[in-house]
Amino acid sequence: MTTSGQDEDLLLAVVRDLVAERRTVDRAALATLDSEFDHDLGLDSLGVTELLARTEDAFGVSLDRGVLATVETPRDLMTAVRRAPSRSRLPSIPVRHPAPPPIARTPDATATLTEALSWHARTHPDRVHLRILSGGTEDAGTQDEVGYGELQSAAATVSAALLARDLRPGDRAAIMLPTGRDYFTTFLGVLLAGGVPVPVYPPARPSQLAEHLRRQVHILGNAQARMLVTDPEATRLARLVRGQVESVRHVLTPNELTGYGEAAGAVRGADDIALLQYTSGSTGDPKGVTLTHANLLSNIRAMGTATGVSTSDVFVSWLPLYHDMGLIGAWLSSLYFGVPLAVMSPLEFLARPARWLWAIDAHLGTLSAAPNFAFELCMRKITDAELGGLDLSSLRMVFNGAEPVSADTVTRFAERFAAYGLRRQAQAPVYGLAEACVGLTLPPVGRGPVVDRVDRERFLRTGRAIRAADADLDPLRFVGCGQAIPNHQIRVVDSAGNVLGDRREGRIEFRGPSATTGYFRNPRATKALLRHGWLDTGDLGYLDGGELYVTGRIKDLIIRAGRNLHPEELERAVGDIPGIRKGCVVVFATSGHPGGTERLVVLAETRQTADAALTGLRERIIGISIDLLGTPPDDIVLAPPGTVPKTSSGKLRRAATRHHYAQGDVRARPRPVWWQLARFGARGVLPRLRRAGAITLTGAYALWCWSVVVAVGVPTLIAVALVPGLGARRVVVHAAARSLARLTGTPVTANGVDRLAQMTSCVVVANHASFLDGIAMSTILPHHFTFVAGEVFEHKPLVGFLLRRIGTRFVERTEREQSVADTGHLEEAAAGGEPLVVFPEGSLSPVPGLRPFHMGAFVIAARAGLPVVPVAISGTRAMMWPDRGTIIHRGAIHLAVAEPILPVGNDWTAATVLERKAHAAIAAHCGEPDIGR
């Protein structure tokens, strides 16, 4: 005697077995008692019929035939089984349980980020991946928990909406959203749709609005972004940007990315672009780092190996998700390794840095990361009163990177927070760059920071990092950033490309599987990046036994009186002067006179305005410069707050500062916001006019097409009404279809048409993407073929009359019993020699992609012993989308007729084989993503 639970397990095994045959093992594994047969499991009427037969065999019962029309879920079927009478014979087929997904620590066999997400969603759908923190108390406020299964489902919903708005494989979609659920689901939704996410950031403050808008225009234009997803508050700004970027078709909010069901787009490969990460730089030459799925997974796996990441870790982050350290280092790495990520908005951290530390405490965080300035901010802004009871002992690694690491910072941070459980060994200075995805060097786990004391004078004059004597009170201090991650190499070379020995400063280069192939649509910058198989980081540094010490940026290096001066040390020292805004000091070189030496300039922000106070600050800066560099600055600019330009991640933009200085506008006050918006909006007038012209031409073309439809359609209807013979009426429709294509200027090409002409009895199956598919098929079909259409068209006033007059056969698609009966009638017709033309996807969908096939056509072919001829139609969706009303766009149509597929057997298994082969043949040529598997 079986128990209720055993019966349910047996039924689910039968359901999963059938679904695995029809769809995939992955979808089968997700089947539950409450899964809907059609929506969730992809079983049409014939599929449910087969399921009922197998259920009767498995349970030894006789189900009432009325069950076919009433059951919607396995739970409904279980109820019917319990009510059904027993029968004496044993099950005729063995019950095969699909093998469960492998239980492993990481999805090692996956080749893309979306595969890794799917692996987790299958393996442990309820496992919490995200804890999205908000609020303002010491315990990090409230949190919104998101599991892997929920995350994938939400991303698939976004994917369907993007596909419905014509996001094609490889199209770029910009994301300008704050940290939150919408960001994560939108990013993954773009990936599932086959698109390429482009993270962009909102303006930091109104005074930077004009520059921010200019930068976004350059980024979106370089990326040729097809759409921009942003929050409602930013839509006005986003639409101003759209006015100047013609490629942007839609500006959407997350609320608009629903209502189309769930779908995934084209299957992407390891070498497909997964992300465009735009690096900080000038506004006129944006550099979008091209990162493939292979690049990302290589970097994530290598970093995980170097840091010993396990599923017992917890990552806590406030880092911006538009920056590589927050996006890849914190989130995508956590997603891959199955590590819970507690994440808060950067604004939450900046408003109150203690929230970061309390979040680590509350969530027992073992991993975290931040740039150097964040550690400084914690020391400056967090009072002892905010730290009572704080416990940071759970941290095993907290990474310091994304900008130069200060020896003073790592030392003072360890001292300040040691009382709160922070182990010095947990601090991990690192080095990385977007061109390597994010991480390039990491220190050994538990080692702690290593500070190298270097003889200042010899280093500045010779570039040799000679260790300073113990008695030296004024050495240079550089922080070790660890060694290259597994499977990657770094080297240091001179200006001629010669490899330098240990402890000699030069250009840092690297190579490895994480390395980008270049910058998107920027061949000039790509050429400068690549050097004989190595990538130039643009940074200076030296090696010592494999340990990397970064000394500065090449473009920031100041050469003065035979000495190589690095600006960071002077910037930090000047920032420590009372009255100077810390972190708002820029030191750079600029040409004085033609042929002259470089001039050393110090620009610092201050709130002081009195002449005496400003004079005192200048004297202090001169003294510190002489002490550190042996030379005074040539010019000191004391500017009001907000003058120094910074990147989205808070780095100083020395090149931009140098440019403003040369133009004489470093003290210029920003224009009012209304003036910036008005000026920026005016620049969008011309692109808007071009877009309006394109819309006008599209409308005129659509009007012409409908005029042609009327001009050709009316005589066609009259002719089919009067012509007596069925064959003659089909000749009329064939001629009308060709006339429509010719008069609208629509090229219709086809290959393999001779295969149709040679067939006397067969079942033709074609994909169905647009209302134009029937017309396209009519241009190539021989006159003896019969269309099969849904019963909904039979009683349409004009279309129904036309279809009836050319002998179309109609089938019921919603009433299961009638659907099975209609299939039987079609089987008789096919067996009698009538070749049928079927669109097995059924009704149209606004979501691009080849959807699951209904089984009717294939059951008919198998039982009648007829070949199936797949026909792939491409181009019709682009001309007339199912949800775009009456607008017809100019385009071209192509039909590919595949080789006939002969059935092997006449049962359900033979029909399933036919369906799979036909689906694959059409998917290979229809030009749309395969979402039917």
Instruction: For residue 757, tell me if it sits in a domain.
Output: yes
To the nearest whole percent, how much of the chain has pLDDT over 70? Answer: 87
CA distance 519 to 884: 36
Residue 698 has a CB neighbour count (10 Å cut-off) of 14
Contact indicator for 639, 665 with CB cutoff of 8 Å: no
Q: What is the pLDDT of residue 851?
A: 87
Q: What is the pLDDT of residue 495?
A: 86
CA distance 402 to 412: 19
Mean pLDDT of 727-732: 92
Residue that is last in its domain, among 83, 104, 125: 83
Residue 767 has a CB neighbour count (10 Å cut-off) of 28
Residue, of 694 and 221, whose pLDDT is higher: 221
| Residue 100 pLDDT level (bands cut at 50, 70, 90) | very low
Instruction: Find the range with the poorest average confidence among 32-41, 184-193, 723-732.
Output: 32-41
Residue, of 89 and 77, whose pLDDT is higher: 77
- Tell me: the pLDDT tens digits for 358-399? 999 999 999 999 999 899 889 988 888 889 889 999 999 999
Question: Does residue 639 surpass a pLDDT of 90?
Answer: no
Q: What is the pLDDT of residue 667?
A: 56
Mean pLDDT of 445-472: 92
Are 79 and 117 part of one and the same domain? no
Mean pLDDT of 641-664: 71
Q: What is the pLDDT of residue 273?
A: 95
- Tell me: the pLDDT tens digits for 63-83? 775 676 678 889 989 998 888
Phi, then psi, of 881 in degrees rounded to 5: -70, 145
For residue 197, the Cα-to-chain-centroid distance in whole angstroms is 4
| Residue 712 pLDDT level (bands cut at 50, 70, 90) | very high
CA distance 276 to 197: 7
3-state secondary structure of 96: coil
Instruction: Find the range with the poorest average confidence among 76-90, 193-207, 443-457, 639-653.
Output: 639-653
Are 243 and 336 part of one and the same domain? yes
Q: What is the pLDDT of residue 22?
A: 66
CA distance 872 to 895: 6
Closest CA to 314 of 460, 478, 143, 190: 143
Residue that is last in its domain, among 64, 83, 102: 83
Instruction: Find the range with the poorest average confidence among 434-448, 614-628, 744-758.
Output: 614-628
Per-residue burial over 415-426, b = 16 or more CB atoms within 10 Å of its CB, e = otherwise: ebbeebebbebb
Q: What is the pLDDT of residue 317?
A: 96
Contact indicator for 19, 101 with CB cutoff of 8 Å: no
Annotate 836-873 with three-state secondary structure: EEECCCCCCCCCCCECCCCCHHHHHHHHHCCCEEEEEE
Instruction: For residue 690, tell me if it sits in a domain.
Output: no
Are 77 and 121 part of one and the same domain? no
Contact indicator for 549, 479 with CB cutoff of 8 Å: yes
Mean pLDDT of 647-668: 68
Closest CA to 743 of 712, 716, 720, 764: 712
Residue that is last in its domain, among 430, 447, 464: 447
Residue 449: CB partners within 8 Å, gap ≥ 6? 407, 410, 411, 414, 424, 427, 428, 429, 443, 479, 480
CA distance 380 to 373: 10
Residue 477 has a CB neighbour count (10 Å cut-off) of 16
CA distance 200 to 183: 11
Are 142 and 275 part of one and the same domain? yes
| Residue 665 pLDDT level (bands cut at 50, 70, 90) | low
Are 29 and 118 part of one and the same domain? no
Instruction: Find the range with the poorest average confidence among 526-535, 609-618, 807-816.
Output: 807-816
Instruction: Find the range with the poorest average confidence among 396-400, 776-780, 806-810, 883-887.
Output: 883-887
| Residue 102 pLDDT level (bands cut at 50, 70, 90) | very low
To the nearest whole percent, how much of the chain has pLDDT over 90? Answer: 46
3-state secondary structure of 604: strand
Question: Does residue 15 surpass a pLDDT of 60?
Answer: yes
Q: What is the pLDDT of residue 51?
A: 84
Paired residues of 442 in beta bridges = 483
CA distance 34 to 8: 11
Per-residue burial over 867-882, b = 16 or more CB atoms within 10 Å of its CB, e = otherwise: bbbbbbbbbbbbbbbb
The CATH number linked to 863 is 3.40.1130
| Residue 690 pLDDT level (bands cut at 50, 70, 90) | confident
CA distance 364 to 371: 21
Mean pLDDT of 435-448: 95
Mean pLDDT of 911-917: 94
| Residue 795 pLDDT level (bands cut at 50, 70, 90) | confident
Are 134 and 51 part of one and the same domain? no
Instruction: For residue 484, tell me if it sits in a domain.
Output: no
The CATH number linked to 25 is 1.10.1200.10
Are 120 and 73 part of one and the same domain? no
Closest CA to 875 of 763, 767, 782, 738: 767
| Residue 86 pLDDT level (bands cut at 50, 70, 90) | confident
β-pairing, 506-511 vs 534-544, is: antiparallel
Q: What is the pLDDT of residue 670?
A: 53
| Residue 101 pLDDT level (bands cut at 50, 70, 90) | very low
Residue 554 has a CB neighbour count (10 Å cut-off) of 14
How many separate domains does the chain show?
A: 3
Instruction: Find the range with the poorest average confidence among 82-91, 483-492, 546-555, 687-696.
Output: 82-91
Amino acid at residue number 104: A
| Residue 928 pLDDT level (bands cut at 50, 70, 90) | confident
Q: What is the pLDDT of residue 572?
A: 82
Long-range CB pairs of 569-576 (<8 Å, 24+ gap) are 569/476, 569/628, 570/602, 570/624, 570/625, 570/628, 570/629, 571/652, 572/406, 572/408, 573/624, 573/628, 574/602, 574/604, 574/621, 574/624, 575/604
Q: What is the pLDDT of residue 20?
A: 76
Are 33 and 173 part of one and the same domain? no
| Residue 932 pLDDT level (bands cut at 50, 70, 90) | low
Instruction: For residue 798, tell me if it sits in a domain.
Output: yes
What angle, 0 to 180 degrees and rounded to 10, lies between the N-to-C axes of helices 4-22 and 908-923? 50
Question: Does residue 406 surpass a pLDDT of 80?
Answer: yes
Question: Does residue 904 surpass a pLDDT of 80?
Answer: yes
Mean pLDDT of 908-923: 94
Residue, of 594 and 925, whose pLDDT is higher: 925
Are 69 and 159 part of one and the same domain? no
- Tell me: the pLDDT tens digits for 265-320? 777 889 999 999 987 554 456 789 999 999 999 999 999 999 999 998 999 999 99
| Residue 217 pLDDT level (bands cut at 50, 70, 90) | confident
Residue 535's alpha-carbon distances to 29, 437, 515, in angstroms, are 44, 13, 8
Paired residues of 751 in beta bridges = 896
End-to-end Cα separation, the chain, in angstroms: 38
Question: Does residue 660 surpass a pLDDT of 80?
Answer: no
Instruction: Find the range with the poorest average confidence among 807-821, 843-857, 913-927.
Output: 807-821
Helix ranges (DSSP H) in 224-287: 235-242
Question: Does residue 593 surpass a pLDDT of 60?
Answer: no
Q: What is the pLDDT of residue 443?
A: 96
Instruction: For residue 616, tell me if it sits in a domain.
Output: no
Instruction: For residue 511, tell me if it sits in a domain.
Output: no
Tokens of 676: 């910036």
Instruction: For residue 737, tell me if it sits in a domain.
Output: yes
Closest CA to 176 of 156, 157, 153, 201: 201
Are 862 and 775 part of one and the same domain? yes
Q: What is the pLDDT of residue 677?
A: 63
Q: What is the pLDDT of residue 94?
A: 38
Question: Does residue 889 surpass a pLDDT of 70?
Answer: yes
Are 8 and 77 part of one and the same domain? yes
Tokens of 605: 């922000």
Tokens of 167: 């996001």
Q: What is the pLDDT of residue 63?
A: 78
Burial classification of residue 567, based on how many CB atoms lie within 10 Å of its CB (0-12 exposed, 13-18 middle, 19 or more buried):
buried
Tokens of 484: 């290259």
Residue 488 has a CB neighbour count (10 Å cut-off) of 21
Amino acid at residue number 49: T
For the entire predicted model, the pTM comes to: 0.73
Q: What is the pLDDT of residue 775?
A: 93
Domain holding 834, by residue range, is 695-923
Mean pLDDT of 544-570: 80
Q: Report CA dihedral (103, 109, 111, 116) to the nearest 10 degrees.
A: 10
Average confidence score pLDDT of the chain: 85
Q: What is the pLDDT of residue 632?
A: 82
Q: What is the pLDDT of residue 285?
A: 66
Helix ranges (DSSP H) in 129-197: 148-164, 181-192
Residue, of 832 and 660, whose pLDDT is higher: 832
Q: What is the pLDDT of residue 350?
A: 80
Are 29 and 117 part of one and the same domain? no
Instruction: For residue 707, tell me if it sits in a domain.
Output: yes
Q: What is the pLDDT of residue 95?
A: 38
CA distance 751 to 768: 18
Q: What is the pLDDT of residue 212?
A: 64
DSSP conformational letter for 487: T
The CATH number linked to 180 is 3.40.50.12780
3-state secondary structure of 824: helix
